[in-house]
Chains A and B, each alone.
Chain A
Amino acid sequence: MNAKNLSRLGVYAVLGIAAFFFLAPLYVMLATSFKDAEQIRSGNLLSLPNGLNFESWTLAWSTACTGVDCRGLKPYFMNSVLMAVPAVLISTAWGALNGYVLSMWKFKGSDVLFGFILFGVFMPFQVVLLPMSQVLGFMGLSSSIAGLVLVHCLAGMASTTLFFRNYYTAIPRELVNAARMDGAGFWRIFYRIVIPMSTPILMVTLIWQFTNIWNDFLFGVAFSGADSKPITVGLNNMANTTSSVKSYNVDMAAAIIAGLPTMLVYVLAGQYFVKGLTAGAVKG
């Protein structure tokens, strides 16, 4: 075996270990979710389930109890959908518009403004919890899904603006000038010329925002009411509900259900994610 093959083998070994490291928990979760209580108690953590038993999945989805409420994860899942979909769309559109203005329609102080917006990317969200809850109270949006949508739009705006602004900076100015001479205005240039060129960064931002908003626990636990808890909070409460026997299989199924949408988004749009992250200057 020569040196080249040896180094190739080393690379595969490292990759294999990394893959095992990240896939092992997923395997344990999947395997456990298909086992019944008896098998969990008696068996090994890594052993294969006896069969595909979907009972704990249906339990987790529709009948598992959180305290005295036994409706499963379904209502929380719906809350998360109602929260994440508008929040992702609004924050992405908002970031695209901000980025468009900050890169192609620069005005006096626009770079300073962009600098301030950047603060939002690095700001720990814990510091805004109290003022934000007051603002929501003033607006009458406390403990509502609409309030959570607003919070996520505000929290995500900084990073979506950053994404779009940096992407649009690479688009030649001449393109905008050409459109201006052709008679297109601010909005027309935005949706006829700029948006059609934005597919990669649009995908990156959508995935990024969806992952962040769907997985958010902090805002969910702080600003939601009894009927507006997102799935992360619902999962936590369900897993922490104490009963005589800990049903690991139901908890595992519930955790996978909670994580499925983000995985789905990656599978559907993941190819654009890498493209978007590596996209350089836009060639005409």
Chain B
Amino acid sequence: MAASLHIAGIRKVFGKGDKAVEILKKIEIDVAPGEFLILVGPSGCGKSTLLNIIAGLEEPTEGELKIAGKNVIGMAPAQRDIAMVFQSYALYPTMSVADNIGFALEMRKVPLEVRQKRIKEVAAMLQIEHLLDRRPAQLSGGQRQRVAMGRALARDPQLFLFDEPLSNLDAKLRVEMRAEIKRLHQISGITTVYVTHDQIEAMTLGSRIAVMKDGILQQIGTPDEIYRAPANTYVAGFIGSPTMNFITGQASGTRATGQFFFEGGALQLPCPAQGAVTLGQRPEHIHLSDDAAWRGEVTLVEPTGADTYVVVKTGVGLVTVRTPPSTVVKVGDQVGMTVSAHHNNWFDAQTGLRLG
């Protein structure tokens, strides 16, 4: 049963008077039924606070919050029909895995037989049937993660909340569980809000991503929109790895005959504005070219297998270029770089906001 989520004008202020800190500033998000929304941002951006407000563990200072069209402000967490997976998993250490999964059902007075049947179903879905009699302390990190998800799945809630669920796992397991979460969402179709600070998780899991910083929603959109057309330099720099290159300079001329001058180089590019602007260019959209006018010195070569990243020192600082692994460059080489007129991201040099 998928439900919609409506977040309007949510503010959260901690403290009073001079010491008041505004953690969330007028957050507006609408989540369609069945959607997988990612809340992403650096530590302290307010994403976890927002998740706690949706869960009912904290109350907003002001604002509106509706689940399936029903106002839930002031409602206890248990009455909101939400399940949450916590960063530390928060499994009950003195209960068996089966009891952990069945606890929410027990609290809702579901009869024992129904409960046991449901626990078996969920365990089968997560491939943890053989662990049902164990205690959480006897499980590995990945198994605990599965149990935590099983506990959330067991009662078939209207809304799933995940609070950085993969941050305690090692790299390999993280990729595995990421796929598992995606699979479970596809099977269950339950509306999900997922908090993370990891932009790769955000890109791979989300049907939409909400990027937050300092309690302000910076941009919300599909992974593709966020990646291809970031709303400001912050989003542009946060999403994508290696991070986008920023080149600040002066733009002049009209669209067709646009010129972009900057420290140590110039590019012939159409810019939507004149004057001080910042060009944001992803590493894959800069190319090495021997006879290019814009030149620099190679300071680092990072082969990753599929690609090789070449870091070039230029007049505007370090520029990262993605090249095929066959590229032959070494540290100290002088290289030229070209930028095509496609995939350019232009930002106002002062405000950092997207132009055009």
CB nearest neighbor in A for B91: A284
Q: A110 interface residue, CB < 8 Å from B?
A: no
CB nearest neighbor in B for A282: B93
B82 A181 Cβ-Cβ under 8 A:
yes
Q: B194 interface residue, CB < 8 Å from A?
A: no
Q: B220 interface residue, CB < 8 Å from A?
A: no
CB nearest neighbor in B for A184: B107
User: Which of A3-11, A52-60, A66-74, A169-177 makes up part of the contact surface?
Assistant: A169-177
B55 A181 Cβ-Cβ under 8 A:
yes
Q: Given the complex, which residues of B lie within 8 Å of A196, measured CB to CB?
A: 94-95
Q: B294 interface residue, CB < 8 Å from A?
A: no
- Secondary structure at the A interface, as helix, strand, loop or mixed, is helix
Q: Given the complex, which residues of B lie within 8 Å of A172, measured CB to CB?
A: 88, 90
Determine the distance from Cα of A188 to Cα of B93 in the docked complex, in whole angstroms.
Answer: 16
CB nearest neighbor in B for A283: B137
Determine the distance from Cα of A282 to Cα of B94 in the docked complex, in whole angstroms.
Answer: 11
Q: B108 interface residue, CB < 8 Å from A?
A: yes
A178 B137 Cβ-Cβ under 8 A:
no
Q: Given the complex, which residues of B lie within 8 Å of A284, measured CB to CB?
A: 88-91, 93, 136-137, 144
B86 A188 Cβ-Cβ under 8 A:
no
CB nearest neighbor in A for B102: A182
A182 B90 Cβ-Cβ under 8 A:
no
B93 A183 Cβ-Cβ under 8 A:
no
- Distance to closest chain A CB from B252 (angstroms): 56
Q: Given the complex, which residues of A lie within 8 Å of B88, measured CB to CB?
A: 172, 174, 284
Determine the distance from Cα of A182 to Cα of B91 in the docked complex, in whole angstroms.
Answer: 12
Determine the distance from Cα of A182 to Cα of B56 in the docked complex, in whole angstroms.
Answer: 12
- Distance to closest chain B CB from A104 (angstroms): 13
Q: Given the complex, which residues of A lie within 8 Å of B95, measured CB to CB?
A: 196
Q: Given the complex, which residues of B lie within 8 Å of A283, measured CB to CB?
A: 93, 137
Q: Given the complex, which residues of A lie within 8 Å of B336, measured CB to CB?
A: none
Given contacts A283-B137, A284-B137, contact A177 B57 (CB under 8 A): yes
Partner of B90, one of A177, A184, A192, A197: A177
Q: Given the complex, which residues of A lie within 8 Å of B91, measured CB to CB?
A: 284
Q: B92 interface residue, CB < 8 Å from A?
A: yes
Determine the distance from Cα of A172 to Cα of B136 in the docked complex, in whole angstroms.
Answer: 15
Determine the distance from Cα of A188 to Cα of B92 in the docked complex, in whole angstroms.
Answer: 13
Q: B84 interface residue, CB < 8 Å from A?
A: yes
Q: A275 interface residue, CB < 8 Å from B?
A: no
Given contacts A284-B137, A284-B144, contact A182 B103 (CB under 8 A): yes
Q: Given the complex, which residues of B lie within 8 Å of A197, measured CB to CB?
A: 93-94
Q: Given the complex, which residues of B lie within 8 Å of A180, measured CB to CB?
A: 57, 76-78
Interface positions, chain B 100-145, Cβ under 8 Å from A, are: 103-104, 107-108, 136-137, 144
Chain B residues within CB distance 8 Å of chain A: 55-57, 76-78, 82-84, 86-95, 103-104, 107-108, 136-137, 144, 151
Chain A residues within CB distance 8 Å of chain B: 172, 174-175, 177-184, 188, 192-193, 196-197, 282-284
Interchain Cβ contacts under 8 Å between A and B, 25 examples: A174-B87, A175-B90, A177-B55, A177-B84, A177-B90, A178-B84, A179-B92, A179-B103, A180-B77, A181-B55, A181-B78, A181-B82, A182-B107, A183-B78, A183-B108, A184-B103, A192-B92, A193-B94, A197-B93, A282-B93, A283-B93, A283-B137, A284-B88, A284-B89, A284-B91
Kindly list the 7 A-B residue pairs having the minimum CB-CB distance in the complex, ordered from nearest.
Answer: A183-B107, A196-B94, A182-B104, A183-B78, A174-B90, A178-B90, A174-B86
